[in-house]
Structure 1
């Protein structure tokens, strides 16, 4: 009798575990998974990996639920036989009817409701055993996963990949919730909205052609470069090789004033940027290089113009 009750309890717990984990998996905030993954949390990394491989997650859940249902059904049948050894059809019929509401409430409804309201907290607790089950069921779920990949290639569809970069829609929702909670001011929200609007725009509209950029030959004197900068009211001057006519860098007006060393010692390198590169990616590259401008080149390596860091930041502060 103890073995039979143990089968029923284990089957009920497994049903609750897989049903709740499935709801929590779809309800969990991917922002939290991404941030925890970047901090080195292996549980979040495993769950994020399953997010990138949804077919494997679904296969693991299906196998687990089938296992739970099998144990529950086996326990119900054995219990019915124990109550009525003669094999009464009445007991065989009434036992499933009596246990179905219990399985539905405690194996489906209650865990799903709990994971629905606290997905991140409960999924973190359920994460290690679920990842362990993923490995244990891999010989079976792996076949289903491979079959799904084959169908994907045949149909030409690509599954949604959730990488360590945040989904714009979900991050926007987080920002809205932050403002509603009083954590963000209107200026901050406007800045983030501008960031969303310009994040994927290419830098091509911001490129300034070389003939419109203040430039001087590499062998120019320090004084002539200073006068050129003053005349054109700029704070930096591009330098080019007088023989090849190729850009070699630029000098800042402030550096020429503060440092009396030769002009060649003050040259700053120009980061090379593709015209199709997004504004935010180009801005990050320029800021990382501590560059005031970048050299925009095409696929053949030909210089198309110059993009200035301050010009890329103008759309971000529009209306702020």
Structure 2
């Protein structure tokens, strides 16, 4: 049972980390064009991208929940294995081994590799995984709204900075990247 929960948490953490980087790395011109299509997926993409900070916050909340649950169950599993193997009697050595193994597994399987993969295939994956992302976006909607509200208050009261500045227009670089991608796509098809 513990192993299946750990695997589910790793998959969820990979999904949340990946979707965060996919949104950041995606071509906003491409997303803008996809949102203009008249289909179910375009409506989902529109809802996901209408408030970028809330989408990112939802993905971060999901990732943190997955990491906490992972840490709890992975810690138990490692402690059981270390007790069974009787490798060490020192609590500090046991905790150090537990931290090292847990961190190594999570960094490789749910942070490093997914972020690389989602960054390379950002446009494809943000579109393909829009529906599950939207489900989690709705699930964490009120929590992310509260966190954004609190962080905006802290930014305004403590740091005297206005928060939540959204970029509404495409930059020249994004437009250029989109045109280059489309030209490569046409060349590949020929």
TM-score where L is the length of structure 2: 0.77
**What's 1:199 paired with?**
none
* Deviation readout 1:220-273 (Å, 9 max, x if unpaired): xxxxxxxxxxxxxxxxxxxxxxxxxxxxxxxxxxxxxxxxxxxxxxxxxxxxxx
**What's 1:92 paired with?**
95
Could you say what the CA RMSD is over the residues aligned between the two structures, in angstroms?
A: 3.0
Structure with max Cα Rg: 1
Q: Following the alignment from structure 2 to structure 1, what is the Cα–Cα distance between the partners of residues 175 and 99?
A: 46
Among candidates 103, 109, 113, match of residue 106 of structure 1: 109
Q: How does 1:198-237 map to 2 (within 5 A)?
A: none
**What's 1:221 paired with?**
none
Q: 1:128 to 1:29 in 2, by over 3 A?
A: same
**8 Å contact kept, 2:5–2:70:** yes
1:160 aligns with 2:166: yes
**8 Å contact kept, 2:152–2:163:** no
Give 1:17 deviation, angstroms.
0.7
TM-score where L is the length of structure 1: 0.48
**8 Å contact kept, 2:6–2:70:** yes
1:30 aligns with 2:28: yes
* Deviation readout 1:144-167 (Å, 9 max, x if unpaired): 2333555569745662243xxx62
**What's 2:74 paired with?**
76
Q: 1:177 to 1:114 in 2, by over 3 A?
A: closer
Structure 2 unaligned spans of 5+:
none
Structure 2 counterpart SS, 1:160: coil
- The answer to which structure has the higher helix fraction is 2
**What's 2:144 paired with?**
141
**8 Å contact kept, 1:52–1:160:** no
**What's 1:7 paired with?**
5
Q: Following the alignment from structure 1 to structure 2, what is the Cα–Cα distance between the partners of residues 52 and 69?
A: 27
- The answer to which structure has the higher strand fraction is 1
Q: Following the alignment from structure 2 to structure 1, what is the Cα–Cα distance between the partners of residues 164 and 54?
A: 15
Give 1:55 deviation, angstroms.
2.2
Structure 1 unaligned spans of 5+:
184-320
Looking at both structures, which has the greater relative contact order when contacts are Cα pairs under 8 Å and sequence separation is at least 6? 2
**8 Å contact kept, 2:27–2:178:** no
**8 Å contact kept, 2:35–2:45:** no
Q: How many residues align?
A: 178
